Structure 1
Amino acid sequence: MELGMLPTYFLSHGGGPWPWMKTEFGGAYDVLDASLRDIERQIGGKPKAVLVVTAHWEGGDFTLSSGAQPDMIYDYGGFPPHTYAIRYGAPGSPELAARAQALLQEAGIAAGLDAQRGFDHGTFSAMYPVFPEADVPIVQLSLKRGLDPLAHLAAGRALRPLRDEGVLIVGSGLSYHNLRAFNGAGAAASHQFDGWLRQAMALAPKERAIALMNWDRAPAARAAHPREEHLLPLMVALGAAEDDPATVVYHEDAFMGALAVSSFRFGN
C-alpha cells in the first residue's frame, strides 16, 4: 500500500530498555507507550523502512548503519540482567543506507557507512512499541560531532526526498535530558524548556527554524540539556519537513513523577 508523503517525528524515547521493564516501572511509561503504538495508525500503515536519527551515536561525519542484520548495543548500565539479552530483530537496509548517503553527498554533506553498527537503545526502545513484530527495515543515522544545529537541519533538508519513497524519518532523543536531575530536581527546568519548545513548534516555519537554531537561548535551556545530543535529532526531523505544521503527539507534565516531556510530528 502506498502511503504518500510520510510525516517525520521527533520522539522522546524514554530511559534505557523500558519496554522490557514495564513491571519494574509500573505505569510510568504507559502514556509514552500508547503514543508510540499509535504511530502506525497515524501514518496509515507500515512504511517501507525507517531512518532513525539516534542521539546515541556521534561521528566525525554523518554516518549510516548499512548492515543487513544489525546486532544489538546495550548502551546503558544498572538494569536487570534480562535487559542485556534483548533482541530486536528488525532487518537493516543497505539500499536505504546507500540512498541516504547519496542524498547527503549530493547536498555537499559528507556521509559515511558503517556495516558493523548495531541498534542502540535510542533505536530499539523507541521502535519496539511502534513495530513490535520487528518487520520494518531500520537504518540508523548518527549525529555529527560538534552538534551544530544548522548542520543537522541541513541534513534533514537533504533527506526530505525519502518521505516520498516510503521511508519514515524519526529523530529519537528526549525533549529533556539532564540525567543528574532526572527527578524532582529537574522539574522546574523541564517545564520551562518544554513550554518554550511547544510554543516554538507552533510558530510559522521560518520563525520556528530560527527559534530552534537558537535553542540554547530558551528558558532553562542548559539546565534541560547540559549537552544537546538528545535534542539534535529534532533538527533533522524538522529539516526534512521544514514547511509542515508540528503536532504534539505525546506530552506528560509528570513523567517519572515530575518532568515535562514531549514528542512531535511534522506533517499530516
Structure 2
Amino acid sequence: MSSRMPTYFISHGGGPWPWIPQMRAGFAALEQALARMPEELPERPKAVLMVSGHWETEAVSVMHAARPPMVYDYHGFPPHTYEITYPAPGAPALAERAAALIEGTGLPVRLDETQGYDHGTFAPMEIMYPQADMPLFQVSIRKNYDPAQHVEIGRALAPMRDEGVLIVGSGLSYHNLRLFGPQAKAPSMAFDAWLSDALALPPAERLAALLGWESAPSARLCHPQEDHLVPLFTALGAAESEPASRPYHEDGIMGGVTASNFRFG
C-alpha cells in the first residue's frame, strides 16, 4: 500500500435496515453515501477496522477471530433479520497489530476470540462491500466513554492508515431512542450544525471543541448516552491534523432526525 487511507465517522442507520425494504427506502441517501465510500479511497483497503457504538467493554477489546460470528443486537424486527449472515473474513494478524499499538498508550487492551459482527458493523458493510470479501475486524469502545481516551486510541491506530487499513467509526450523530420523530428535528438539527462547525475548525480548536461536546446545543438531548458519538473521537484521533469533510448530510430521517457522516483526510 502506498497511499494513506482516510478515516470516517458514519451514521449506520437503524437496526438491520438493508434487509427491510421499507426501511431501506427511507435510508436511500445514506445508502448512496455508504456505497460511494469504496470509490472515494485511494486504493482498495487491506481491511476495514470498525469502531462500533454497539460493542462496549471495560478494557479496549480487539476482535481476533478468523471467522467472526453474527451478533443480532436489536429487538422487534422480522424473523428473517435474525438469520442474516455477513460472512466477511476476520483479520487476526491486523488485530494483533492494532492491539499492540493500543497497548503502547498504556490503556488496558485484550484480544477477543469470540465477539461477532454487530449491526453497527454488518449493516453499513452490507452496503459498502456487499460481496462480504473485505477482511473486517472491530475495536470496542470503552464503557467509560471518555473522549480523550478514545482520541488516544485513534492516535495509536493512525499508523495502520499507511498499512492499508480503513478506520471507520460507526455510530449516529443523533441517538436518543426516546426522542425520534418530529420531536427530534430541532435538537438533532442544532447539534448536527454545531458538530459540522466544530469539525471545520483548525485542528487544535477542533479537538478542544469535541472534547467539550457536552456544552454543544442540545448535546444531552441528542446523546443522553454517548455510545453512538464515541466512535467519532477515535476516527478523529486517527487523523487529528487532517481536514474534515461531510460526504453525507440529511434532514428528516427516522421521522425527523438530522444526521451526517464525516471524513477525515
Task: Please tell me the TM-score bracket, short chain as reference.
Answer: over 0.9
Describe the SS at the equivalent of 2:242: coil
1:4 aligns with 2:17: no
> Partners in 2 of 1:159 and 1:169 — Cα distance?
8
> Partners in 2 of 1:195 and 1:256 — Cα distance?
18
Q: 1:170 aligns with which of 163, 168, 177?
A: 168
Which position in structure 1 is the counterpart of 2:204? 206
Amino acid at match of 2:209: A
Which position in structure 1 is the counterpart of 2:35? 37
Provide the aligned C-alpha RMSD in A: 0.9
The count of aligned residue pairs is 265
> Partners in 2 of 1:132 and 1:150 — Cα distance?
34
| 1:32-71 → structure 2 map (5 Å cutoff) | 32-71=30-69
**Which 10-residue stretch deviates more, 9-18 or 104-113?**
104-113
> Partners in 1 of 2:213 and 2:38 — Cα distance?
30
Describe the SS at the equivalent of 1:180: coil
Structure 1 unaligned segments of length 5 or more: list them: none
Amino acid at match of 1:52: M
CA shift for structure 1 position 27: 2.3
Amino acid at match of 1:175: S
CA shift for structure 1 position 26: 5.9
> Partners in 2 of 1:68 and 1:175 — Cα distance?
31
Describe the SS at the equivalent of 1:253: strand
1:16 aligns with 2:34: no
Which position in structure 2 is the counterpart of 1:195? 193
CA shift for structure 1 position 259: 1.1
Which position in structure 1 is the counterpart of 2:80? 82
> Partners in 1 of 2:163 and 2:92 — Cα distance?
15
> Partners in 1 of 2:47 and 2:181 — Cα distance?
35
The percent of aligned pairs where both chains have the same amino acid is 52
CA shift for structure 1 position 3: 5.3
> Partners in 1 of 2:11 and 2:71 — Cα distance?
19
Amino acid at match of 2:256: A
What is the TM-score with the length of structure 1 in the denominator? 0.97
Amino acid at match of 1:127: M
Amino acid at match of 2:178: R
| 1:107-186 → structure 2 map (5 Å cutoff) | 107-186=105-184
- Closer, same or farther: CA 3–85 of 1 in aligned 2, 3 Å: farther
> Partners in 2 of 1:255 and 1:48 — Cα distance?
33
Describe the SS at the equivalent of 2:34: helix
| CA displacement, residues 77-100 of structure 1 (integer Å, 9 cap, x when unaligned) | 011111000000001011011000
Q: 1:28 aligns with which of 26, 29, 43?
A: 26
> Partners in 2 of 1:201 and 1:208 — Cα distance?
6
CA shift for structure 1 position 107: 2.3
Describe the SS at the equivalent of 2:178: helix
What is the TM-score with the length of structure 2 in the denominator? 0.98
Runs of 4+, deviation exceeding 6 Å = none
1:224 aligns with 2:206: no
> Partners in 2 of 1:166 and 1:17 — Cα distance?
28
